[in-house]
Structure 1
Amino acid sequence: MNAILQAQSTHKSIRQYTDKTIDDALLKQLIQCAQGAASSSFIQAYSIVQVINKENRAKIAALAGGQKWVESAAEFLIICADLTRVEQCSLEQGLGELEGNAEHFIAATTDATFMAQNLMLGAESVGLGAVFIGGIRNDPAQVAELLHLPKQVYPVFGLCLGYPDTQPDLKPRLPVDVILHKDSYDSSRCADDVKTYDAQMQAYYQSRGNNQKMSNWSEQTAAAVQKKKREHMLSFLQDQGFLKC
């Protein structure tokens, strides 16, 4: 495999960092390179808030469920879907304000996500570690207030960056044959695919060097989606100008 494929296939979420800082020029270069990501109709509907204030970091770490690495990482970034510039273009061209269309929400969210994944991959290529922080959506209104986010902007997730202090074990992903369907979606194999992967993940959890546990993919996944519904998100997004139609 070439260097890019190797980096993609060996990604690990890093939550423990050394005290080494990230040079500001390097951070800006990583962001600039991340902007090479694909963008829906080239609208580039994203912004990044670099959270430097220690008090704000501590507040966000608490809101995210006590994720202390938000405070300890060399850099903590909030990745935002941002339609403010898009709306400005629309107003200047006489096409009016944005109306909260679901399509625009999807375009902005995917734009932000593509860029963020590029940013993470670039960071890992220069020896940095990273982890996305979805926990900021536990209370997105408070996060938005702390960051003074205007209408047409919402925080999609956070991103911790720093030099790794530890290297966790690599989690086995779903086999390609499980996620790859040819011509049409084959739902008949789902139960067997999950059962087989559960056995693989249970063996992984029991054998890894740190944080061994009795669990499997089904148990972890069901808890992740059913216990983190964040039912406040729809009203928050609508308050921010998204998903009104």
Structure 2
Amino acid sequence: MSNKKKNLDIIKHLQDHRSIRQFTNEKIPKEDIEQIILSAQAAPSSSHGQAYSVICVTEEEKKSKLAEYAGGQQQVENCSHFFVFCADLHRLEKIARRSNINMKEPLDSTEMFLIATVDATIVAQNTAVAAEALGLGIVYIGGLRNNPDKVSDLLKLPYRCYPVFGMCIGYPDSKNIPEKKPRLPHKAVFYKNEYLNFEKTLTYIEEYDEIMKTYYEKRTNGKRSDTWSETMIDKRKIPRRLHLKSFLKDRGFPLI
């Protein structure tokens, strides 16, 4: 197989992503998990700092608790492996102390919070791509942030380490694989040289609203017919998870 053919296969693989919430009972082999982890660790990180940690949860009791903390999302309990991606500055603080260096001021900064959060996110996406390449399905679980304190206690996360989100990984139930969800037209989100005036992208958004309306009608057998714009406004018009600011401050991420 030529390099170009391999690269085209990778592109097709990336563009075929969909969130999987129904899994079989089959467990992922240890060797596949090892390959996923190696792929995750190959992700780039800021200054090679690798300011993240990943907790792989397989104990049924813990998965059940995490499903509850995430708002009753049963896929957390039913997947083969549940990964929790953490922004982690604890390790850096510990190695600095071994050298008698006080890192409080830089570690308290918003920049370091962003570095750790972005590192964890990039690692998670590598994890998703690797898992899907092995024929597995994934879905991100931001619901862990509903109860980040309980998640942290359950997983024994140390100071300066917080759960950014989780990810269900498992074998997809072939009878419940959803259609690929349409994305915004690339002209609505990808601009050349400078940010494009909103009015110039409005046509693309209106076209997309109609596409998503049709998608939801088909997916729900007519029970749902909202547009993307309506959905986003409805989801975001009420502030959510306002507890996160105080939680992060208590965990060693004061931000401001």
Report the TM-score when normalising by structure 1.
0.93
Distance in structure 2 (CA, Å) of the matches to 1:203 and 1:116: 31
* Contact 2:55 2:85 (8 Å CA) reproduced: yes
* Counterpart pick for 1:52 among 37, 58, 67: 58
Counterpart pick for 1:110 among 103, 118, 124: 118
Higher mean alpha-carbon deviation, 178-187 vs 4-13, is at 178-187
The equivalent residue for 2:82 is: 76
Structure-2 separation of matches of 1:209 and 1:224: 19
Q: Offset of 1:39 from its aligned partner?
A: 0.3
Partners of 1:190 and 1:94 lie apart in 2 by 54
**Letter aligned with residue 93 of structure 2:** E
Structure 1 residues 146-185: aligned runs within 5 Å: 146-165=154-173, 166-185=176-195
Q: Give secondary structure in 1 for the equivalent of 2:104.
A: coil
Residue in structure 1 matched with residue 246 of structure 2 by the alignment: 235
Residue identity over aligned pairs, in percent, reads: 41
Report if aligned partners of 1:169, 1:209 keep a CA contact under 8 Å in 2. no
What does residue 3 of structure 2 align with? Answer: none
Q: Which runs of 5+ in 2 are unaligned?
A: 1-6
CA distance in 1, matches of 2:234, 2:86: 26
Which of 17, 23, 26 in structure 2 is aligned with 1:11?
17
Higher alpha-carbon deviation: 210-219 or 1-10: 210-219
Q: Deviations over 1:57-108 (max 9, x none)?
A: 1121112111001000011111111111222333344441333110001000
Mapped pair 1:42 → 2:48 = yes
1:194 paired with 2:205, answer yes
CA distance in 2 between partners of 1:40 and 1:170 (Å)? 32
1:204 to 215, 218, 230: 215
Contact 2:84–2:165 (CA under 8 A) maintained in structure 1: yes
Once the two structures are overlaid, the 10-residue window that deviates more, 102-111 or 29-38, is 29-38
Partners of 2:79 and 2:169 within 8 A in 1: yes
Contact 2:69 / 2:143 at 8 angstroms: preserved in 1? yes
Deviations 1:35-73 (A, max 9, x none): 111100110011111222222211211121110010000
Shift of 1:227: 4.0
Match of 2:37 among 17, 23, 31: 31
Query: Per the alignment, do residues 25 and 207 of structure 1 end up closer, same or farther by CA in structure 2, a change over 3 Å counting?
Result: same
Between the aligned partners of 2:239 and 2:78, the Cα distance in structure 1 is 25
CA RMSD in angstroms, aligned pairs only: 1.8
Task: Tell which deviates more after alignment, 45-54 or 182-191.
Answer: 182-191
Deviation, 1:130, is: 0.4
Structure 1 segments unaligned to the other structure (5+ residues): none
Query: Which stretch of structure 1 is more off in the superposition, 130-139 or 205-214?
Result: 205-214
SS in 2 for 1:2: helix
Q: Structure 1: how far apart are the matches of 2:52 and 2:25?
A: 29
* Counterpart check, 1:61 vs 2:72: no
Matched length: 245
Confirm or deny that 1:128 pairs with 2:139.
no
